[in-house]
Amino acid sequence: MGNRKQSQIRNDDDDDDDDDDDDDDDDVLFVMERTAVEMRRWGPDISGPELVAAVANAGGLGLLRAPDWETPDYLKQLIRKTRALTDKPFGVAVVLAFPHEEEHKGHTGREGCSFAGLLGECSQDLVLQAHQAGVKIIPQVGSFEEAKKAVDVGVDAIIVQGLEAGGHVIGQDGLITLLPRVVDLVRGHNIPVIAAGGIVDERGYVAALALGAQGVALGTRFLATEESFAHPLYKRKLVEVQKTEYTNVFGRARWPGAPHRVLKTPFFMDWRNLPSHENETNQPIIGRSRIHGVEKEIRRFAGTVPNATTTGDIESMVMYAGQGVGLIREILPASEVVKRLVKGAQDLIQKEFASEKTSGEQI
């Protein structure tokens, strides 16, 4: 599983220093095809430099979540801090529903980011600007139609998100049916397909490979790591609460029409049938948080997850999680998550599928 890709990376690393930049860009996709992609979508700053660097140093691709407001200078600082912790490829995750004009002008490329993961429909102009800055564009899609649009504008890879995913869910199809359709769509285009939604361990990884993916994107599993900037109570809930629900209760005013998957905490179960006309605008303030250096008030039903700086009624705040949360039993270092994922998948394929092939040949 992926041994050819790993060999390719090692050979590229041994090349002379005068290799052109295009070869370096190709390495990013080689890395993505052989291991996990850590895809941030929980909320600004929970996936910070420490987590991103830890994932990258372990052989995965970490994604810094860009702030949801125009802060090009702050984003530069985040990228530089991450680069100081790793010399491996990493990227920036951008939610296109919010303003990020400066980020789209190439700051990620100039500061050493290899790629940008996008949530939202990207244009051909955006892809062109990114390529001119030396940045690969990897959008996240939730439907076959979105995937086709992404292919048409020239993206470099596609993350296919199934309904099982945590946080904001952008489609209605389950991963097991959507993923192979997108794999068939991109055949002949040299566009790697990455699977996302409910994948936590090596079994999910192998299942995604069987459906045609070249890699996997994990969110909830990396949220429950030592380097994650999530609040300790949030992390503990990821281990204790094993069920999620698809809802639209949180963040209605700020991001209308954006359903999400959350943990079934006692607070959520009490308010799961919140009337559709209610939102966070006129609700009481239940806490405060420092997000990307900015002090923020958190109102009841806001879509802001608690980070390590958050104070107040943490139990009553939104806690995003994917359906795979029931498979998370401990908080681990991010490097251990990557190691177990890749080694476990290799062992599983060797044990289960190689032995079956041998048995079949004997018959």
pLDDT tens digit sequence for 287-343: 999 998 899 999 999 999 999 999 999 999 999 999 999 999 999 999 999 999 999
Give the strand pairing for 136-141 and 158-161.
parallel
The share of the chain scoring above pLDDT 90, in percent, equals 61
The enclosing domain of 38 has a CATH number of 3.20.20.70
Rounded Cα distance between 324 and 9, Å, is: 31
Asked if residue 319 and residue 198 are part of one domain, the reply reads no
Rounded Cα distance between 345 and 81, Å, is: 32
Strands, E, within the chain: which ranges?
36-38, 62-65, 90-95, 115-119, 136-141, 158-161, 167-168, 193-196, 215-218, 244-247, 260-263, 285-291, 294-299, 311-312
Tokens of 92: 């920036």
Give pLDDT tens digits for 156-174: 999 999 999 999 899 999 9
Give the strand pairing for 136-141 and 62-65.
unpaired
- Give the pLDDT score at 31: 43
- Give the pLDDT score at 102: 55
Asked if residue 179 and residue 74 are part of one domain, the reply reads yes
DSSP symbol at 327: G
Asked if residue 164 and residue 248 are part of one domain, the reply reads no
Give pLDDT tens digits for 65-114: 888 776 778 888 899 999 999 999 998 888 776 666 555 455 565 566 77
Tokens of 19: 């290799």
Asked if residue 262 and residue 135 are part of one domain, the reply reads no
Average pLDDT over residues 28-53: 66
Asked if residue 96 and residue 171 are part of one domain, the reply reads yes
DSSP symbol at 305: P
Asked if residue 217 and residue 103 are part of one domain, the reply reads yes
DSSP symbol at 303: S
Asked if residue 85 and residue 218 are part of one domain, the reply reads yes
pLDDT band at 275 (very low <50, low <70, confident <90, very high): very high
Does the residue 35 lie in any domain?
yes
Does the residue 353 lie in any domain?
no
- Give the pLDDT score at 32: 47
Tokens of 84: 């100081």
Indicate the SS3 state at residue 229.
coil
Average pLDDT over residues 234-248: 96
Average pLDDT over residues 210-237: 96
Tokens of 24: 């370096």
- Provide the terminal-to-terminal Cα distance of the chain, rounded to the nearest Å: 25
Does the residue 358 lie in any domain?
no
Asked if residue 82 and residue 56 are part of one domain, the reply reads yes
Asked if residue 252 and residue 201 are part of one domain, the reply reads no
Does the residue 207 lie in any domain?
yes
Does the residue 363 lie in any domain?
no
Number of domain units in the chain: 2
- Give the pLDDT score at 122: 83
Does the residue 360 lie in any domain?
no
Does the residue 118 lie in any domain?
yes
Does the residue 356 lie in any domain?
no
Structural domain including 144 reads 3-229+330-346
CB 71 within 8 A of CB 292: yes
Cβ neighbourhood burial of 345 (10 Å; 0-12, 13-18, 19+): buried
Asked if residue 257 and residue 162 are part of one domain, the reply reads no
The share of the chain scoring above pLDDT 70, in percent, equals 81
Asked if residue 246 and residue 178 are part of one domain, the reply reads no
Sheet holding 285-291: strands in order across?
Answer: 294-299, 285-291, 311-312
Asked if residue 188 and residue 112 are part of one domain, the reply reads yes
